[in-house]
Amino acid sequence: MERQYMLKAIDAALRAGEEILSIYEDPASDFQIEKKADNSPLTIADRKAHETICRWLSDTPFPLLSEEGKHLSYSERRTWETLWIVDPLDGTKEFIKRNGEFTVNIALVHNSIPVMGVIYLPVKKELYFGAEGVGAYKLSNIAACGESSLDELIAAATRLPEAGAHDKFVIVASRSHLTPETEAYIEEMKHRHAEVELISSGSSIKICLVAEGKADVYPRFAPTMEWDTAAGHAIARAAGMEIYQAGKEEPLQYNKEDLLNPWFIVETKHTETK
């Protein structure tokens, strides 16, 4: 199932990225910034990316849960065995700052587990994708898929995690949401490891850095929603990583009644940092 819908999700992410860049690269654009109920920003790029992804995935048999779409009640969602979970523009704050650190996130979730994920960085034209039974990959300088098959994309991509360990213990943390709890965790790791390096980044890029092997751990002790993590979680799982609930051996679960994630840690499975 994952292979069957991977190209569809990749195409949807690339098309949404094109819509986002058409606004991002327009010097006359003011992004038409609004405030949502939780005071987080919403731009015209969020809306256009959402509409594009909805169109591209509309011919699949699965319902779609998007940050920018209508959020149906759990009484209806609980019957969804398989669904798309989408963040059309993850990192809206980074988009508004024009620092390039925003992504398109598309995940396929089956029985509460993210089994396939696609993350696209429009500015860098970098694509991360992964699935159970397929593996995790990174493809740079990607254009539209065109007639490419999944096997051709995999052949052109780099398998994750990349070979070659780094000497330092690398922690990746949020550029916009570095909480006191996260700072305390970083201090604890400094006592456990001889050298600790901190990387700051926006959006789901942080999860990708762990899956890629460029970082050892990503602690997130601040609010996130399911669409922020589902695609990255699938890619991390395909790369041999996991996203654990903070302080527990249990991974994050999806399509819950409450779509808010608990605090979590992204890391290689069963490392000493838990």
CB within 8 A of 228, min separation 6: which ones? 87, 90, 105, 204, 261
Nearest CA to 233 out of 69, 42, 87 is that of 87
| pLDDT for the residue 155 | 93
**Domains detected in the chain:** 2-160 (3.30.540.10), 169-268 (3.40.190.80)
- Tell me 162's DSSP state: P
pLDDT at 144: 58
Ranges in the chain, pLDDT < 70: 1, 39, 143-147, 164-165, 176, 270-274
Q: Classify the C-alpha dihedral 124-125-131-136 as positive or negative.
A: negative
User: What whole-number distance in Å separates Cα of residue 252 and Cα of residue 233?
Assistant: 8
3-state secondary structure (DSSP) of residue 54: helix
Which region holds residue 98: left if phi is over 0, alpha if psi is between -120 and 50, else beta? left
What is the pLDDT, as a whole number, of residue 5? 95
In this prediction, residue 272 carries a pLDDT of 45
- Strand pairing report for 103-110 and 113-121: antiparallel
